Amino acid sequence: MIQLRTILTPADNSGAKRLMVIGVPARVGRIARLGDVVLCVVQSADPAGVVTDSEKVRVLIVRTKKEVRRQDGTYIRFDDNAGVVIDKQGLPRGTRILGPVAREVKEVGYNKIASLAREVV
């Protein structure tokens, strides 16, 4: 459950260190879940990274602390709320994906992010 002002951990090497959600699309409602794209602001970033401080970026949610029920009845949850910085075409701005990624990301259609991830859970 990601809502406004939620702090996200970047799951890529785009240079962002801390992201804050400032917009959730209307079609999603007020709560974003795995596989949704939200608008974030970069609160702190690495000076040599692709993104800079105070930059508005689109972020794909790949991990959430709140458990998600799957069709087969199993539940999945992670230790942190994490996202991947993407561009308007849906491609990651970084070159690596860090940590596990939920299977829902691939089911939504972000195959490039799922293929870069070391583990798809």
Structure tokens at 26: 């209307």
1 belongs to a structural domain: no
The domain that holds 111 is classified in CATH as 2.40.150.20
Give residue-wise pLDDT tens across range 100-117: 999 999 999 999 999 999
87 belongs to a structural domain: yes
* Low-confidence spans in the chain with pLDDT less than 70: none
96 belongs to a structural domain: yes
Domain total in the chain = 1
Domain that holds residue 36: 7-116
103 belongs to a structural domain: yes
92 belongs to a structural domain: yes
pTM, rounded to two decimals: 0.95
Contact yes or no for 19/83 (Cβ under 8 A): yes
